[in-house]
Amino acid sequence: MARKKRSYYFLCIWLIAIVLLMTACGGQTASAPEKAESSGSSEQVIKHAMGETKLTKKPERVVTLDNGALDNVLALGVKPVGAATVFADHPFPSYLKGVEGIEKVGTINQPNLETIAALQPDLILGSKDTHEAIYEKLSQIAPTVFVETLGATWKENLKLQAEALGKTKEAEKLLNDYNNRIEEFKVKMGDRLTKTHVSILRPRKDNVTVYLRDNFSGSIIQDAGLPRPAAQDKNEFSVKLNEERVADMEGDAIFWFTRDEENLLTSKIMSNPTWKQFKAVKENKVYRVSDETWLSGLGYQAANRVVDDLFANLAK
């Protein structure tokens, strides 16, 4: 009888040991994928204009080196710790909200590396066509991601910057919202859409720069389905005109912006007989718009401001 009790006792111990062993093994099996997932989500490699950049964590202290990056980062719900401005004495663009407390890090053309380093960023966003010469120095400060160029590529730039920030889904939503607004504009324009040739002018002191298709505002006009006058319907950035080529500035609607209050358009062109014969002039469809958005915004929020102007002036 005692022998049976001992056998029963050892059997129970053996069964308990097996259960504990299986539980331990099961726990390890369940935790392994969780560890792998955590490891995969904390590190990513971003392919960009300068090659590849490894990010070991989700960026929290971001520095932007151009208006487009600043615009996009804010649109994605991230407030940079530092950003460059167009001119040293200029504030951040007035159409952007939430810029209070962002430290200036020099100008877009000449970022201040010491100021950037002092901010201890974990991500720097810039562009190859502007900042290629300082890429290596920036990369020594923090992981650095560059878009190829600025302007007509603003959508691709938004996607790349969102990828670096871990905000890909947010960027997709923003672009869907933009596309929906574009479609709404086309519907409101109706038959007028293909009959409204849009001219885009930037007057300066000694010339009038006509923006063609391959630039920021030109790309939005193209998205909106608005045709360009024959002289401006080219896949190029811009062309500079003088008083002898006023005819090439014509459009059914003319949008213009400038940083120069003293400029050739207001001082001479607007009194030119050829200008006065333009359909847009006769029908009061010459609109001055913001250079902050049409010229130097270069991001998602600026693009929507351009669309706002199209709604307000053309889709009445």
Asked if 153 and 69 touch (Cβ cutoff 8 Å), the reply is: no
Asked if 90 and 100 touch (Cβ cutoff 8 Å), the reply is: no
Whether residue 17 has pLDDT greater than 90: no
- Say whether 69 sits in a helix, a strand or coil: helix
d(CA 72, CA 294): 15
Whether residue 33 has pLDDT greater than 70: no
Find the distance separating the first CA and the last CA of the chain, reported in whole Å: 102
Asked if 74 and 99 touch (Cβ cutoff 8 Å), the reply is: yes
Domains 44-166 and 190-315 share a fold: yes
Give residue 316's pLDDT. Answer: 86
| pLDDT tens per residue, range 160-197 | 999 999 999 999 999 999 999 999 999 999 999 999 99
Nearest Cα residue to 270 out of 226, 208, 313: 208
Burial of 42 per CB tally in 10 Å (0-12, 13-18, 19+) = exposed
| pLDDT tens per residue, range 64-94 | 999 999 999 999 999 999 999 999 999 999 9
- Copy the structure tokens of residue 230: 């024959």
Q: Under CATH, domain 190-315 is a member of which superfamily?
A: Nitrogenase molybdenum iron protein domain (3.40.50.1980)
Strands 51-55 and 62-64: unpaired
Question: What CATH number labels 44-166?
Answer: 3.40.50.1980
Is residue 29 very low, low, confident or very high in pLDDT (cuts 50, 70, 90)?
very low
Is residue 31 very low, low, confident or very high in pLDDT (cuts 50, 70, 90)?
very low
Nearest Cα residue to 201 out of 133, 255, 129: 255
d(CA 211, CA 295): 10
Is residue 41 very low, low, confident or very high in pLDDT (cuts 50, 70, 90)?
low
* CB-based contacts of 293, cutoff 8 Å, min separation 6: 93, 95, 302, 305, 306, 309
pTM of the model: 0.86
Give residue 255's pLDDT. Answer: 98
Asked if 241 and 273 touch (Cβ cutoff 8 Å), the reply is: no
d(CA 261, CA 135): 35
Asked if 69 and 92 touch (Cβ cutoff 8 Å), the reply is: no
Asked if 150 and 125 touch (Cβ cutoff 8 Å), the reply is: no
DSSP string, 126-153: EEHHHHGGGHHHHHHHS-EEEES-SSTT
The neighbour count for residue 182, using CB atoms within 10 Å, is: 17
d(CA 8, CA 123): 66
CA distances, 227 to each of 8, 37, 212, 220 (Å): 92, 49, 11, 11
Domain residue ranges in the chain: 44-166, 190-315
Instruction: Look up residue 190 and give its amino acid.
Output: G
What average pLDDT score do residues 5-27 get?
45
| pLDDT tens per residue, range 267-281 | 999 999 999 999 999
- Copy the structure tokens of residue 257: 């912006």
Nearest Cα residue to 65 out of 95, 107, 100: 107
| pLDDT tens per residue, range 209-263 | 999 999 999 999 999 999 999 999 999 999 999 999 999 999 999 999 999 999 9
Instruction: Look up residue 169 and give its amino acid.
Output: K
